[in-house]
Amino acid sequence: MKKIQHQINGKQFDQANATFQAVFNPATAQQIAEVALADTNVVNAAVSAALVAFDSWSQVSPANRAKRMFALHSIVSQKQNELAKAISLEHGKTHEDALGEIARALEVIEYATSIPSQLTGRYNSNVGPDIDTYSDRHALGVVAGITPFNFPAMVPLWMIPMALACGNTFILKPSERNPSAANMLAQFIGEAGFPDGVFNVVHGDKEAVNALLDHPDIDAISFVGSSSIAQSIYQRGTASGKRVQALGGAKNHMVIMPDADVRQAADALMGAAFGSAGERCMAISVAVPVGEGTANRLVDELKSRIESLKLGPSIDPSSQMGPVITQQAQDRICALIAEGETQGCKLVVDGRGASVKGYENGYWVGATLLDEVRTDMSVYQTEIFGPVLSVVRADSFEQARKLVDDHEYGNGAAIFTRDGETARSFAKQVKAGMVGVNVPIPVPVAFHSFGGWKRSLFGSHGIYGPEGIHFYTKLKTVTTRWPSGIKEGANFSFPTNSE
């Protein structure tokens, strides 16, 4: 049985007396590996290695840090098929979906290669009598990332390039459900010429997370996961003096106006709701058609598409959707569908009981369509994180937008319309951090930043892009004056810029 160990200080770290957790292939439900779960001693070893590496890495020029990023971009590009296969094997998503994840990760590495210009400071001469002022940004120190199962390469690479390019050293605690991608990233980072200890991987569960949150030598924590855990991470991390960005859950709505191309909207919803089996924090899980005619046409279009959707394992190139991650996830999703039916929604397409020939034991949930969903139903209030699309019918644009505004999550929202005034009003007024106009999954490109509102983000900074640079650096402002022209004698008044 394959044993997956930690990666610390540039090499495999074999934990003494380790506890191991099974790793499964979701398409077969068969165990394919086991991963070591770190205790506090392992976390301490990773922090020690990162601390030693920080002293020299933080002094490397931004231009030379960028050269390592160029090398990393090349290596990940060359080995993306290998990485995608590892992702699909442990996660279940299709190979093409895994390649898409890596493509978005490569964009962040590419953005990080621009770090010399991104860290350019400001300088002003003569802000006062013979006084000059300049400011620049400095690395924090040792930082850590705690990442989810649904994007085992992309989400870590939302964090790692930004943190390393800014001069920090990094400890990654990936999901123990699919840990192999993280170790592959450690290999690639080493091959790109990053010094030992600059990047480390610690596998584990709650004990490892708490050790990272409480360690006095870790300066910042990045987290992506559910809102309840994000809030806990934020509170515990900030209580121990850390800078924390904690991205939480979502219930993303897509409003379909009567003037929209309903067929185009249905095509967009298929990928946005059911891609990666709905296990995306930016998945559209609520469709909001405005008007009964729009709703009826949309449901008809979706029903025919869902019934022809191909469920299958990642090794089948014709598969459009794979399994969900675990048996527990499968049971939870199916229970929520049953609860929605009991509460009165209309079950248009039922994905429970789905099966794939030759893979009957896999964690399959077919694409599910629920109509006439109300806001008091659990399927509407809960982040299902599975291939379930709820249709909530609205009578007007104002009612549709209010649905988004009133929900506890504010990650993303989209609108499909041909009317510019409606689109502009929605984009300007809706209470969500990321908005799409005729774009179903509005994940920003790498030179912007990702982040939601309300209970979808705890902390002051979004992730990657300019927000990522600000999160992983601290500002220093220097005011200088040289002896020439300085008047003798003490001045007890508050300093000003007057002559």
Residue that is last in its domain, among 404, 437, 470: 437
Name residue 106's beta-bridge partners: none
Q: Is 50 among the domain residues?
A: yes
Instruction: Give the total number of structural domains in the chain.
Output: 2
Last residue in a domain, options 405, 437, 469: 437
Q: Count the neighbouring beta carbons within 10 Å of the beta carbon of residue 292.
A: 11
Determine the pLDDT at residue 498.
Answer: 62
Whether the pLDDT of residue 81 is over 80: the answer is yes
pLDDT in tens, 12-43: 999 989 999 999 999 999 999 999 999 999 99
- Report if residue 488 sits inside a domain: no
Are 350 and 335 part of one and the same domain? yes
- The answer on 233 and 279 residing in a single domain is no
pLDDT for position 354: 96
Residues 16 and 150 both lie in one domain: yes
Q: In this structure, are 294 and 161 located in the same domain?
A: no
Q: How far is CA 34 from the centre of its chain?
A: 25
Q: Are residues 116 and 176 in the same domain?
A: yes
Which pLDDT score is estimated for 493? 76
Residue 143, domain extent = 2-248+456-478
| DSSP category for residue 420 | H
Judge if pTM exceeds 0.85: yes
Q: What is the pLDDT of residues 366-419, one digit of tens each?
A: 999 999 999 999 999 999 999 999 999 999 999 999 999 999 999 999 999 999
Give the pLDDT band (50/70/90) at residue 489.
confident
Find the CATH number of the domain harbouring 57: 3.40.605.10
Q: Cα angle at 372 between 367 and 376, to 5 degrees? A: 100
pLDDT band at 292 (very low <50, low <70, confident <90, very high): very high
State the CATH number of the domain containing residue 399.
3.40.309.10
Mean pLDDT of the chain: 96
In a domain, 165, yes or no: yes
pLDDT band at 227 (very low <50, low <70, confident <90, very high): very high
In the structure, what pLDDT confidence band is assigned to residue 488 with cuts at 50, 70 and 90? Answer: confident
Domain end call among 384, 406, 437: 437
Provide the pLDDT for residue 402.
98
pLDDT tens digits for range 343-357: 999 999 999 999 999
The pLDDT of 421-431, averaged and rounded, is: 98
Say which of 166, 281, 334, 345 is annotated catalytic. 281
Nearest of 421, 444, 131 to residue 282 by alpha carbon: 444
Whether residue 321 is found in the same domain as residue 396: yes
Token pair of 99 as six digits: 């390649």
Query: For residue 244, is pLDDT > 80?
Result: yes
What six digits make up the tokens of 457?
């983000």
Asked if residue 347 and residue 288 are part of one domain, the reply reads yes
Check whether residue 334 and residue 197 sit in a common domain. Answer: no
Q: Averaged over 196-224, what is the pLDDT?
A: 98
Is 345 known to be catalytic? no
pLDDT at 499 over 60: no
Average pLDDT of the residues in 43-64: 98
337's tokens:
């569908």
If you average pLDDT over residues 323-348, what whole number do you get? 98
* pLDDT (tens digit per residue) in 404-425: 999 999 999 999 999 999 999 9
Instruction: Name the band, by pLDDT with cuts 50, 70 and 90, for residue 483.
Output: confident
Tell me the average pLDDT across 165-179.
Answer: 98
Here the tokens at position 202 are 């610690």
Nearest 10 degrees: CA dihedral of 424, 101, 12, 203?
Answer: 60
Q: What is the pLDDT of residues 293-305, one digit of tens each?
A: 999 999 999 999 9
Examine residue 446 and state whether it is found in any structural domain, yes or no.
Answer: no
pLDDT bracket for residue 497 (50, 70, 90): low
Ordered DSSP codes for 50-94: HHHHHHHHTTS-HHHHHHHHHHHHHHHHHTHHHHHHHHHHHH---
pLDDT for residue 484: 72
- 51 occurs within a structural domain: yes
- In 3D, which of 47, 459, 49, 9 has the Cα closest to residue 218? 47
- CA–CA distance from 424 to each of 183, 246, 322, 436 (Å)? 44, 29, 36, 11
Residues 31 and 12 reside in one and the same domain: yes
Do 65 and 194 fall into the same domain?
yes
pLDDT at 485 (0 to 100):
63
Q: Is the dihedral of CA 76, 220, 58, 179 positive or negative?
A: negative
Are residue 54 and residue 155 in the same domain, yes or no?
yes
State residue 492's pLDDT score: 76
**Residue 495 lies inside a defined structural domain of this protein:** no
pLDDT at residue 494, rounded to an integer:
76
Q: Is residue 447 part of a domain?
A: no
Helix axes 40-57, 206-214, angle to 10 degrees: 40
Q: What is the pLDDT of residue 338?
A: 98
* 487 inside domain: no
Verify that 416 and 474 share a domain, yes or no: no
| pLDDT for residue 118 is more than 80 | yes
Whether the predicted pLDDT of 222 surpasses 90? yes
